[in-house]
Amino acid sequence: MSARATLATAGRVAAQLRRDRRTLALVFVVPPALLALFKYVFDNQPETFTRIGAPLVGIFPLILMFLITSIAMLRERTTGTLERLMSMPVAKVDLLFGYGLAFAFVAAVQATVTAAVAFGLLGIETTGPVWAVVALAVGNALLGMALGLFLSAFATSEFQAVQFMPAFIIPQLLLAGLFVPRARMPDILERVSDFLPFTYAFEALAKVAADDIDSRLWLDVGVVAGCVVLALVLGALTLRRRTA
Amino acid sequence: MHTPSDPELAVAVHGLDVRRGGRRVLPAIDVVIRRGLVTGLLGPSGSGKTTLMRAIVGVQLIAGGEVEVLGHAAGTPALRRRVAYVTQAPSVYGDLTVRENLHYFARVLDAPLERIEATIARIGLAAHAKQVVRTLSGGERSRASLAVALLGGPELLVLDEPTVGLDPVLRTELWRQFHALAGEGKTVLVSTHVMDEAERCDELILIREGRIVASGAPRTLLEQTQTDTLEAAFLALADGGP
């Protein structure tokens, strides 16, 4: 493990993103725009929107980082840069932490912009502190990154990688209680949702937004952190020095 | 059972066996590569050149045999600084400039950053240093990839068809560089399927359908087969001739 290689990788990933202006514009414009859309769609059901408005701020980075990481890692694999790096004196954790650092920074900026628009312009309400929503958003971005990194190993083309989003993200969003509270779902679905990381990510956000800070919140945060570590370990296992 | 390595040899391969999808790509082959020379790995596409090179670099899963590189088992961490590998497809970041690519890999390799500009110049990309790699021509891109390999000052360079698509002037220049590197004591292994490039090598390894057909200096191969061209020599040897 070396701080030099980690920082170099973070800098390289950041430089790649910086050069892709359109992606950056999408990263910062789409979440606030979607939130505005959500708000007006739920115009006649303000109570529902109050429940999900603030948590959504922290959910967008998760989805985005999942997509960006899966494509970025797939590119590293298909263009041979990953194989090249694996033949160099660089530890796998240097690559993972490098990516994590760069994406966490982007997620922090994204969540801040989104939060500013949501709580400032759109008048979305949070009883809890805004900084806690942003902090959870960054944590969720790392969860998205770790999941994307792991799952990208199972995609052999970008067509497949983008379809992991409807395959793995949308079911979790549905089951997390975002659209229908978990307590009102059929038992079996509620039971399934107990095993999905998004459930805990959403619950933590919902608790913070409702200023309902209790020990259950720390359990939610702990589960998300555990999932990040687990996905990173599994992702590291997919970075092979030797391949067929 | 492991014989002490010959210090003259950069690479010693014993009984290397590689299978892919149930097929034996390399059926227990033996190869040696001497230090300080430019060795050409010559064979048609699909003959196993890339697989052999990957095994030497240590990125290939192998079914059996031993590959010893600079006195160590191929792929061991100690070799990651001493061996550089350039794949056929340029392995550089298309969305970064030439200089940004080299800067990143120099930091990963912990190579002196002063070496970046010298390497760019050496490989003839000074005019393109600030250009995003994706916008370069194919030949320029593969030179950028080669530049990355030179950064760490490796003792063994493994180059998979580095001259494909280059104009004759550049091709000659690159071969001059390979010999210059060998002159500095480095070992250069270059694969090619172009016969006229074979003449530029100090030593040749002829490979066909995963089997080593012959190896030796180009002149020796011509004498052995009593032919005038390496192409004729290759044909004679591939047919199991003299």
Determine the pLDDT at residue B242. 43
Q: What is the ipTM of this complex?
A: 0.87
Determine the pLDDT at residue B89. 87
A9-50, pLDDT tens digit by residue?
A: 999 999 999 999 999 999 999 999 999 999 999 999 888 888
B83 touches chain A (CB under 8 A): yes
B169-204, pLDDT tens digit by residue?
A: 888 888 999 999 999 999 999 998 888 888 899 999
- pLDDT bin (cut points 50, 70, 90) of residue B236 is confident
Which one of A80, A243, A244 has the shortest CB-CB distance to B91? A80
Residue in A9, A76, A83, A88 to test binding to B, most B beta-carbons within 10 Å: A88
CA dist B199 and A67 (Å) reads: 50
A81 and B100 within 8 Å at the Cβ level: the answer is no
- pLDDT bin (cut points 50, 70, 90) of residue B4 is low
Burial of A49 from C-beta contacts in 10 A (0-12 / 13-18 / 19+): buried
Which one of A8, A83, A86 has the shortest CB-CB distance to B107? A8
B151-162, pLDDT tens digit by residue?
A: 999 999 999 998
Question: What pTM was computed for the model?
Answer: 0.88
A83 and B83 within 8 Å at the Cβ level: the answer is no
Residue of chain B whose Cα is closest to the Cα of A82: B91
User: With 90 as the cut, is the pLDDT of residue B76 above it?
Assistant: yes
CA dist A217 and A59 (Å) reads: 16
Determine the pLDDT at residue A242. 86
Per-chain mean pLDDT for chain B? 90
User: With 60 as the cut, is the pLDDT of residue B2 above it?
Assistant: no
Residues in Cβ contact with B80 at an 8 Å cutoff, skipping those fewer than 6 apart:
A87, A88, A89
Q: Which residue positions in chain A have pLDDT lower than 70?
A: none
CA neighbor of B86 nearest in space, from A162, A87, A207: A87
**How close, in Å, is residue A97 to chain B by CA atoms?**
14
Which one of B61, B89, B100 has the shortest CB-CB distance to A15? B100
Residue in B61, B103, B108 to test binding to A, most A beta-carbons within 10 Å: B108
- pLDDT bin (cut points 50, 70, 90) of residue B3 is low
B152 touches chain A (CB under 8 A): yes
